Structure 1
Amino acid sequence: MKIAFYGSSLLSSYWNGAATYYRGLLRDLAGRGYQITFYEPDAFDRQKHRDIDPPEWARSVVYEANEEGLRSVLQEAKAADIVVKANGVGVFDTELLEGIVTHSRDDALRIFWDVDAAATLDEMRADESHVVRRTLDDLDMVLTYGGGPPVISAYEGFGARRCVPIYNALDPTTHHPADADPAFASDLAFLGNRLPDREARVEEFFLRAAAALPERSFLIGGNGWDSKPMPANVRHLGHVYTHQHNAFNCTPLAVLNVARDSMADVGFSPATRVFEAAGAAACLITDAWEGIEQFLEPDSEVLVARDGQDVADHVAALTPERAKAIGAAALRRVLAEHTYTHRGEQVDALWKSLLQPERSAA
């Protein structure tokens, strides 16, 4: 079966936190026999910051971020059995979603894949003419990479035929234990771009903890933090490329996950960084959110913090031996239950259950 997938970027993780998710899932689906074409616009300097070459397991199409480029890639939707529009492309999001409805075949499976469901639902509540609300009747399903029961209930309340969370996971071929790198040496490291709905939580969980432990070293990676005032014991790296993530996770005593406001509010939304860190056998400290136990067991596989003081207390009490034990336990858990092989199996079964009855009847 052929998949036409319209997303932000497969080739670059620059200002594109969904890259790891797309790569892990689509690589697995390609191994199950799907023929995948990924369409991404040449926008936001992502093509200047590629961190993978076009892969063998998917056809990569980079189009000009203008109306001619949009028309050219939407015309190809009619060749696909499954047509996917992911949110957060950043250019022509409305036109792309409307376009997959218009240009796909009547017998094709039409999917909106929401990689930021909490934010999308807030927009939908505030705008009756929101493009997702307008197109739900024409979509076969909504897939999300987080949100659990609250998101399912909200989407079904708006009229979605079906909403299924396909959670982030680990690709052990790309994220795994690695040698330490002195460039990432620290007691606590955090990796994430500076975004309006994350910044206050980073101030609380990361910068407050750093200020409380002036004798310990802290490291922050990601775009946008260079102009942010920080305690003297915090070092800023800027963008950290995907191929550096394993060393980034393996080197510090512990790494921190901080959810964005909307994802923390709805819970059941582990970021890709959670599984990247666990896959590297890192000791992970995460801000508290509902549903964490579904993915990692607090105290034995992950340390959970309610605020910055909790983070500081965890770091102050953490020994290298305990950090190593927590990281090893997390790695065992995600390999057993949370890889993209597990997620790909889920997606494959879901799609086949919808497509095969129709084809056999024809």
Structure 2
Amino acid sequence: MSSKKLLIISPAFHGYCYSIADGFAQLGYDVHVHRYDAFDGWQAKLRNKVQYEFPSKLGLDGRKAAERHATITALRVLDEVNPDKLIVIKADTLGEDFWQKVADRKIPYMLWLYDDLKRHLYTEEFLREMPVVLSYARSEAERFAAAGANAHYIPNGYDPKLAQLPTHRTEEIVFVGSRYENRVRMMEQLHAAGIPVRVYGRGWSHHPYDRLRMWEWKRPDLPAKRDIPLAQAYQVQAGAAGALNIHGLQAGLAMRTFEVPGMNGLQLIDRPDVSEFYEVGSEVLLYTSMDELIELCRRVIADPQWSDSIREAGRRRSLAEHTFFHRAQKMDQLWV
């Protein structure tokens, strides 16, 4: 008997779609992935800049053209794959034609939001029309359900196949991710306190290409590296003395909440609700103030035996409970 065909339509963002797909493949699905916002190759990247990004910078409606292209491509993939089931992740740039086609096909499908609703173009009214809505935040899933949606809480996870143990350690406290004001302030304060820090990502990088492609020149005066693939980010954070998880104003816990301990890294996190998944103090470290974070960073660097015990405990818990295979198992019970 052949396995059921599953299509995952997802953002290209760090290749998470492939890790999620692997979780479902372990359940026996024949999984196909379409990254609706991917621009592979230099020609596609140039088209994105010229046809979509540059007009938007000039006040023209480049976004609409990008949405039309993404919708047409997604519809073509839907026809080509002809899946038995469908998972759509984010995808708020896909037009009404796509959603109508999905509904007409009468196949089971889910919409998965692994970011806050306020960062999407969807409304609660739209979510009520979905057969299944998944949110990475418990509070948002409860709000959607109260508004009449068939909503469920699916926390983020990680891919253990990418978590190779590092061959060496540094004494740096690292942050890998997007540059927001609260993250800049925190990294600058750590740097000013004498903590060895390093940041990774196009928003932090001092490389001329990264400055130009983000249409800005000024960058924080911090030790910084360029964008790195997800597997390399796992290595960097695992090999650091500590890896920061700085959330800011978001409802759910970020992917790195599970990635850092899962890759044998030592996580310094700002969210008390991490205790739902890890034991604070023995599997992850929680900070509630800048002074507390500075002291934790100093101890992490000075006492590797203590920090190693936290790494090992966090990794065991992650492998046992927080991989994308665990998330796929839960999601697989929700089809309607």
TM-score normalised according to structure 1 size = 0.73
* Residues 298-327 of structure 1: per-residue CA shift (max 9 Å, x gap): 111111111322211101223111111111
Tell me the amino acid that sits aligned with residue 286 of structure 1: I
Query: Could you tell me how far apart the structure 2 residues matched to 1:66 and 1:293 are?
Result: 39
Aligned length: 295
User: Tell me, which stretches of 5 or more residues in structure 2 are unaligned?
Assistant: 43-64, 207-217
Tell me the residue number matched to 1:84: 87
Alpha carbons of structure 1 residues 243 and 76: separation in structure 2 relative to 1, 3 Å = closer
* Separation in 2, partners of 1:281, 1:343: 20
Counterparts of 1:75 and 1:138, CA distance in 2: 23
Confirm whether residue 211 of structure 1 aligns to residue 192 of structure 2: yes
Match of 2:25 in 1: 30
Alignment of 1:190-209 (within 5 A): 190-194=175-179, 199-209=180-190
State which of 156, 163, 178 in structure 2 corresponds to 1:175: 163
1:1-362 residue pairs with structure 2 within 5 A?
Answer: 1-9=4-12, 16-17=13-14, 19-20=15-16, 22-41=17-36, 43=38, 65=66, 67=68, 70-77=71-78, 79-87=82-90, 89=91, 93-95=93-95, 99-105=98-104, 107-120=106-119, 131-144=122-135, 146-148=136-138, 150-160=139-149, 162-180=150-168, 185-194=170-179, 199-212=180-193, 214=194, 216-225=195-204, 226=206, 227-230=218-221, 234-261=222-249, 263=250, 266=251, 269-287=252-270, 289-318=271-300, 319-351=303-335, 354=336
Q: Which moved more, 1:132-141 or 1:299-308?
A: 132-141
Tell me the amino acid that sits aligned with residue 147 of structure 1: A
Contact 1:143 1:165 in 2 (8 A): yes
C-alpha contact (below 8 Å) 1:283/1:323 kept by paired residues: yes
Question: Quick check: 1:94–1:131 contact (8 Å CA) kept in 2?
Answer: no
Aligned-pair distance for 1:138?
2.9
- Structure 1's 177 and 119: CA in aligned 2 closer, same or farther, altered over 3 A? farther
CA deviation vs aligned residue, 1:189-224 (integer Å, no higher than 9, x gap): 111122xxxx23213433212212x2x311111121
Contact 2:269 / 2:287 at 8 angstroms: preserved in 1? yes
Q: Give distance in 2, aligned partners of 1:69 and 1:292.
A: 36
* Structure 2: distance between partners of 1:75 and 1:237: 38
Q: Among all aligned residue pairs of Structure 1 and Structure 2, give the percentage whose two residues are the same amino acid.
A: 20
Q: C-alpha distance in 1, partners of 2:196/2:36?
A: 39
Change (3 A) 1:280 1:141: same
Write the letter of the residue equivalent to 2:323: T
Distance in 1, matches of 2:324 and 2:67, equals 33
Alpha-carbon distance, 1:156 to partner: 1.8
Structure 1: runs of 5 or more not aligned: 10-15, 49-63, 124-129, 355-362
Question: Aligned pair in 2 of structure 1 residues 337, 131: CA closer, same or farther (>3 Å)?
Answer: closer
CA deviation after TM superposition for structure 1 residue 331, in Å: 0.6
